[in-house]
């Protein structure tokens, strides 16, 4: 009886590939994050607590996390609609629209921030129509949310597109033949199948919004206690040579972001397991 031989892969073996992977991730991700945590450990506990609980710092956290959450929720809804339209329908200009989705990836964030400010300022193309209604877009939390929505949209659309392309239209036809309406088909058939992917896109957009700086700094107005985001406050601390304060703020953002993303990934794993079991 011939002895089965192991097929040689095109790429290196597991040991070598894993070694390269761990080395790369350590240099790019793990070592810088470890240095940040170690740097914060050298700060006296009282100073650390006073820094991260300062009213100005807490206001920046509320704005950063709140605006990122709202922007990610908006992108989850409208990003699904955009992805569905690009996958399911053929219309003139479809390829152009598909390319425009990636524009926030390619465009410098400072350019997008300046463009949004020019449009939503009180004398801008859109801002001049909002001002009589008492709506101030630029230099307000609303402006921050608009900027984060712009830079987060591609993450949701590009994450959802492959899943929507893999959906078999016959499943929807089968549900319709069994008497299900459009809403029932979406809620009971389509949504459970795309929900884990939708959560992934939401998490990516949320995480991207937390660290955004360039597109927000112009339209926010940067007013302390009102429109000052946490990344801007970190930059301000560094410019004042307050490295301990900047490190403390960054560590809190890192810990909160990690816990939130871990929770979202856990929910994604649970929903995927539940869908498989069902």
46-277: CATH superfamily: MetI-like (1.10.3720.10)
Higher pLDDT, 67 or 38: 67
Has residue 276 got a pLDDT over 70?
no
Residue 180 phi, psi dihedral angles, 5° rounding: -80, 135
How far apart are alpha carbons 151 and 102 in whole angstroms?
A: 10
135: left (phi over 0), alpha (psi -120 to 50) or beta: beta
Tens of pLDDT, residues 170-187:
777 777 777 777 777 787
pLDDT in tens, 45-88: 888 888 889 999 999 999 999 999 999 999 999 999 999 999 98
Most confident range, picked from 10-14, 29-33, 122-126: 122-126
Count Cβ atoms within 10 A of the Cβ of residue 130 and give its class: 0-12 exposed, 13-18 middle, 19 or more buried: middle
Asked if 232 contacts 144 with a C-beta cutoff of 8 angstroms, the reply is no
Contacts of 229 (CB under 8 A, 6+ apart): 60, 63, 64, 67, 144, 212, 213, 216, 217, 220
Average pLDDT for 228-249: 90
78 vs 224: CA distance, rounded Å:
31
233 CB-near residues (< 8 Å, 6+ apart): 56, 57, 60, 249
Q: Domain coordinates of the chain in residue numbers?
A: 46-277
Contact (Cβ atoms closer than 8 angstroms) between residue 143 and residue 220: yes
pTM as predicted:
0.84
Among residues 173, 170, 159, 148, the alpha carbon closest in space to that of 82 is found at: 159
């Amino acid at each position: 009886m011939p002895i089965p031989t192991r097929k040689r892969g095109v790429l290196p073996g597991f040991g070598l590939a894993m070694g390269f992977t761990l080395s790369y991730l350590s240099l790019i991700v793990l070592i810088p994050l470890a240095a940040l945590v170690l740097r914060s450990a050298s700060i006296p506990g009282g100073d650390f607590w006073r820094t991260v609980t300062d009213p100005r710092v807490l206001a920046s956290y509320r704005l950063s996390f709140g605006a990122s959450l709202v922007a990610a929720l908006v992108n989850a809804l409208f990003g699904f609609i955009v992805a569905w339209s690009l996958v399911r329908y053929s219309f003139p200009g479809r390829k152009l629209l598909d390319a425009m989705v990636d524009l926030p990836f390619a465009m410098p964030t400072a350019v997008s921030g300046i463009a949004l400010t020019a449009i939503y300022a009180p004398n801008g193309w859109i801002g001049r129509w909002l001002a009589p209604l008492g709506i101030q877009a630029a230099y307000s939390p609303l402006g921050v949310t608009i900027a984060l929505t712009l830079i987060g949209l591609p993450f949701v659309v590009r994450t959802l597109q492959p899943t929507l392309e893999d959906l078999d239209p016959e499943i929807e036809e089968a549900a319709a033949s069994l008497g299900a309406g459009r809403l029932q088909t979406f809620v009971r058939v389509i949504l459970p199948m795309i929900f884990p992917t939708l959560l992934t896109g939401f998490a990516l957009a949320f995480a991207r919004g937390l660290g955004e700086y360039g597109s927000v700094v112009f339209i926010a107005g940067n007013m302390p206690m009102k429109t000052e985001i946490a990344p801007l406050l970190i930059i301000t601390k560094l410019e004042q040579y307050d490295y301990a304060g900047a490190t403390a703020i960054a560590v809190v953002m890192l810990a909160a972001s990690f816990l939130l993303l871990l929770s979202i990934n856990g929910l994604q794993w649970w929903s995927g397991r539940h869908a498989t079991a069902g």
